[in-house]
Structure 1
Amino acid sequence: MKAVILADRSRPELKPLTERTCAALLPVGGKPLIEHTLEALFDADIREAYVVISEFPDQVEAQLGDGERWGMDLRYWLSRGDESVASICRRLRHQNEDEILLIRADVIRSSFLTRFLDLASMRPGASRLAASVGGVDAGLELIRLREDARPTKWIDLVGEGLSVLSDLGDFHVTSIEVVRGTFPGLNLRAREVSPHVHVGRRSVLPSTSIRGENVFVGSRSRVHPRARLSDDVVLSEDVIVDAGARLRSVVVLPGTYIGASTEVDNAIVWGNQVIHLDVGKAATVRDPSLLASMEQNPVTRALAEAARRLAAVVALGLSAPLWPLFTVCSLAANLRNPLRPVRLMGNREAEDVGGSPTRRAFTTWEGATKIPWLRHLPRLLSVATGDLEFVGVCPATKEDRKRPTEDWERVSEEAPSGLIAPGALQPATASRLERRMADSFYAATRGTRTDLYWLFRGALFLTTRRAWASTPSLR
């Protein structure tokens, strides 16, 4: 069976949110709605799907790619918007499909797809079977193309969770209820650090800022210790909440800055737009010290990435005289095997089958020499490819990631892996625990000044006797 994922509705009832992206890409539970749909399909053992797109097609394709992250094969159809079931069936008849599953991607459901398919299999003669929850269309329909056309038969899935996101208020409530856990089977892109508090990867949420229940902070977000998050606060990824800000019953969408002493209650915020749900109106805040968008212009992002890679290439050029020394020392240490491959967890992100972000592993090389800094010279190449930053924590192996860790050790997972690591620059007598503590402290306090400080420390290290002393690997 193949699925047809419908992501082509314009959804004017969700404006102004749908003026910036399509409804299927709106975030709920730390990930776009359509990713919840893909996870449900994977759980139902459906591996091939057509994605019907209309508005913002480039955004959808950029977000999903070819579906490999979910173990699926995705193909895209461009439509004029809200394509009819009859039109879809005509397309698929030419591709010799026996039955198809139509599923809307701008609806949020609990994990009842498998249950629906099991019930549908008990009705072999029906040509069209649709799911509902409490009489509400669930945006889920099984069509048997080889059967004679008959009226749609409905399967009502009593007790399941469903939200069709009928308006902005419904989107606000659903975003909060998903975090509360009222949609069983949905995977949140965050881990529960305490009861009713979820924090995403590379995010900072001080305990002093939590003043209520049901708080969700998405990936790469930061909350100031003097901010106040009361009940039902949902922050998407890349959000900053400054000192003195007070939030209650608020859904904040990606790339938003909430300024110092700003108070927001019962609203949806995206960049400098705030939608007051009690009056049903959207307002644009002109003062960037109160609300602002932090979404980076694609050109700016590309320039920043190009500058980083250029710096890595310059560093490689400056290191040219060292490569002959690296070769000679490695051959002298082990003539038969002067190099060995090492598999490390880098900075480029991938997503596992559940949709959770994870670091992508990469392969680098180590020389056989026991001179510490020379042994890791090939890691400069990994900086050029983006797998490492110039400054960061010690890159972990897959075995390191599997080891149980304390809460304070997990802090280092929020920082990038680096060529120069505070843990590696600790005194030679420092234990593995002390090195990890140094990395965790760096991760909790990192910033531009901190990175420049450790970059300077790394340069000074090359002038010390320890840098040239013959020592075993730090790992």
Structure 2
Amino acid sequence: MKSALIFADRDGSELPPLNDRYCPAMLPVLGKPLLEHSLEHCLSLGIETVYVVLDAHAASVRRYFETGARWSLNIHYVLSRQGESPDRVRRRIGQSLNAPYVAMRGDIWHGLEPNFPRDEGTPKPHRRLGYVVNDAADASIDSLHWQTISRIQIPVFRPDAIDRPCRVYSLGEYHSLALAALSDVFSARDRAIDNPPTTRLLLGAQTRVNHVSLDEGTAFIAEHSRVDIGAQLAGVVSVGRHCLVDRGTRIADSVLLDHTYIGAGLAVKNAIVDQDRIIRVDLNATTTIADSFLLWSNKRPVDGGWLSKALERLIAVCLLPLAALFDFLRRMSAEPRTGSEPGPLRPPLVSRLWAVYTGNIALFGRDEKIAKPLQDSPETPPWQYQYEQLPVGAISPARARLRGQGDLTLLMLTELELNRPRTVGFLAKNLIRCFWSGLKTLLPTARLCSRPTTLPEVSK
């Protein structure tokens, strides 16, 4: 067999609220999406060409797998139509998919080492849940339709049956599957050791973790993730890619999905954590935390693209006359500097807007002068390093929000809170805020400049 047909067109309506960020085929188990496990099974069978059937909302699958070159596979994507059966999809592909071929679902769990055939001479289980081997091109594969599989009465997934197929039909099943797969990885190693250790840790590439953080149990830390000193992991814990677990955090029997930040002091148990949401599978409850210092997305802010960059430069040019008027009134007022503007004096607003037009800085971003007084401090706060990673901007959203505020720490923390991806909506929201703040500043300054100067009378 050289070809495979994998269906990943499930919409995930039975997995709210995860279905608004993940299609079921991209749910990670042991640091890999379910679909990647299916592709690795195909690779073990000697398959070279794979046709992946997607729905209209599975763009994340294309971005992750691309052409399949990383797996030495040639992946072709087929867009499914509403209500289309697997047999109709097969006929639409045509002669490109020759028999014998494997047809399977890529959005369910087939087991760590499923009993798949490796060649035509091996006795093969022609049908099992979500898997069909077809020797004839006209053989039906409608048993792979998700509506058919979802109606099959099968026992609920149990952690001791990790090698059996799992439909991942609920959040509780996914939580049990992710933790059971991790425990099963170490079971064979423990049987080969007389006195197996009580703590078991599996690390991905480019991870940073303190072994003292794992009290007793099993933990998996995926690639490019970090667990700070002082964080405690208990039971079975699976941490996804690009995650950050801050000091003082306690996590027990939970799954952290990709790009999740857990702040200091937060305790999580029996839950699925997805960026700013905590899903308690035992209570069937979801909590959204709108505090970026406790729970937030650890994704790097995505650049808004050429449109936002072009708008930034256009807005900077349009604001140059107002900036010149603002700088003129500030000079005419000749107000002495007070504690309301800490740190070194910033360049004139006209110069900063011109730097935006030339592409040297962003229109909205941090004030590069504001952090310098704290750099010589013997104990630098951990969030200051995050602040210094923000883009330098001509206009500081924190200064616009806290006009006249002299507390450096408050300004820096507010800048971190207001930092968002450079999109058109981000530009519009900050323009309105900064225009209103500038108007409040210009009106008193204009009245001060227009006020006639009177000299006190000197009594003779």
8 Å contact kept, 2:86–2:141? no
The SS at the match of 2:216 is coil
The SS at the match of 2:126 is strand
In the alignment, the residues of structure 2 paired with residue 258 and residue 148 of structure 1 have an alpha-carbon distance, to the nearest angstrom, of 50
Please point out which of 149, 169, 173 is paired with 2:172. 169
- Structure having the higher strand fraction is 1
Percent of aligned positions with the same letter in both sequences? 28
CA shift in 2, pair 1:216/1:151, >3 Å: closer
Give the CA deviation at 1:71: 0.8
8 Å contact kept, 1:250–1:265? yes
CA shift in 2, pair 1:81/1:215, >3 Å: farther
Give the CA deviation at 1:183: 10
* Corresponding residue for residue 395 of structure 1: none
In the alignment, the residues of structure 1 paired with residue 61 and residue 45 of structure 2 have an alpha-carbon distance, to the nearest angstrom, of 22
In structure 2, give the amino acid aligned to 1:90.
R
Give the CA deviation at 1:93: 3.9
In the alignment, the residues of structure 2 paired with residue 159 and residue 299 of structure 1 have an alpha-carbon distance, to the nearest angstrom, of 41
Q: Which segments of 5 or more consecutive residues in structure 1 lack a partner in the other structure?
A: 132-136, 153-157, 186-192, 304-444, 453-475
Give the CA deviation at 1:69: 0.8
8 Å contact kept, 1:10–1:55? no
Aligned pairs (5 A) from 1:382-461: none
In the alignment, the residues of structure 1 paired with residue 42 and residue 164 of structure 2 have an alpha-carbon distance, to the nearest angstrom, of 17
Does 2:61 correspond to 1:60? yes
Give the CA deviation at 1:277: 1.2
Does 2:293 correspond to 1:292? no
In structure 1, give the amino acid aligned to 2:18.
L
In structure 2, give the amino acid aligned to 1:9.
R
Q: Deviations over 1:146-175 (max 9, x none)?
A: 5677998xxxxx993322211001101111
Q: Deviations over 1:9-53 (max 9, x none)?
A: 112111211111211111110111111111111111001010111
8 Å contact kept, 2:111–2:162? no
Aligned pairs (5 A) from 1:54-133: 54-80=55-81, 83-95=84-96, 97-112=98-113, 115-116=116-117, 122=123, 129-131=126-128
Let me know the Cα RMSD of the aligned residues: 3.6
Give the CA deviation at 1:214: 0.9
* Corresponding residue for residue 28 of structure 2: 27
Does 2:262 correspond to 1:261? no
* Corresponding residue for residue 326 of structure 2: none
8 Å contact kept, 2:29–2:181? yes
In the alignment, the residues of structure 2 paired with residue 58 and residue 10 of structure 1 have an alpha-carbon distance, to the nearest angstrom, of 12
The SS at the match of 1:109 is coil
In the alignment, the residues of structure 1 paired with residue 249 and residue 255 of structure 2 have an alpha-carbon distance, to the nearest angstrom, of 14
TM-score normalised by structure 2 residue count: 0.56
8 Å contact kept, 2:199–2:214? no
Give the CA deviation at 1:77: 0.4
8 Å contact kept, 1:55–1:81? no
* Corresponding residue for residue 144 of structure 1: 135
In structure 2, give the amino acid aligned to 1:207.
H
Give the CA deviation at 1:302: 9.8
Q: Deviations over 1:72-116 (max 9, x none)?
A: 111110113574222123124443622321111111222555644
Q: Deviations over 1:430-471 (max 9, x none)?
A: xxxxxxxxxxxxxxx9x969x99xxxxxxxxxxxxxxxxxxx
In structure 2, give the amino acid aligned to 1:248.
A
* Corresponding residue for residue 310 of structure 1: none
8 Å contact kept, 2:234–2:253? yes
Q: Deviations over 1:347-374 (max 9, x none)?
A: xxxxxxxxxxxxxxxxxxxxxxxxxxxx
Q: Deviations over 1:109-130 (max 9, x none)?
A: 225556445699547xxxx931
* Corresponding residue for residue 212 of structure 2: 208
8 Å contact kept, 1:40–1:111? no
In the alignment, the residues of structure 1 paired with residue 103 and residue 89 of structure 2 have an alpha-carbon distance, to the nearest angstrom, of 9
CA shift in 2, pair 1:207/1:221, >3 Å: same
The SS at the match of 1:214 is strand
* Corresponding residue for residue 233 of structure 1: 237
In the alignment, the residues of structure 2 paired with residue 242 and residue 302 of structure 1 have an alpha-carbon distance, to the nearest angstrom, of 35
Please point out which of 144, 150, 163 is paired with 1:160. 163
In the alignment, the residues of structure 1 paired with residue 286 and residue 187 of structure 2 have an alpha-carbon distance, to the nearest angstrom, of 32
CA shift in 2, pair 1:120/1:10, >3 Å: farther
In the alignment, the residues of structure 1 paired with residue 179 and residue 162 of structure 2 have an alpha-carbon distance, to the nearest angstrom, of 19
8 Å contact kept, 2:240–2:257? yes
CA shift in 2, pair 1:78/1:146, >3 Å: closer
Does 2:234 correspond to 1:245? no
Does 2:269 correspond to 1:272? no
In the alignment, the residues of structure 2 paired with residue 184 and residue 82 of structure 1 have an alpha-carbon distance, to the nearest angstrom, of 42
The SS at the match of 2:235 is coil
Aligned length: 289
In the alignment, the residues of structure 1 paired with residue 306 and residue 259 of structure 2 have an alpha-carbon distance, to the nearest angstrom, of 17
The SS at the match of 2:60 is helix
CA shift in 2, pair 1:183/1:214, >3 Å: closer
Q: Deviations over 1:232-263 (max 9, x none)?
A: 11110111111111110110001111111101
CA shift in 2, pair 1:268/1:81, >3 Å: farther
In the alignment, the residues of structure 1 paired with residue 230 and residue 268 of structure 2 have an alpha-carbon distance, to the nearest angstrom, of 15
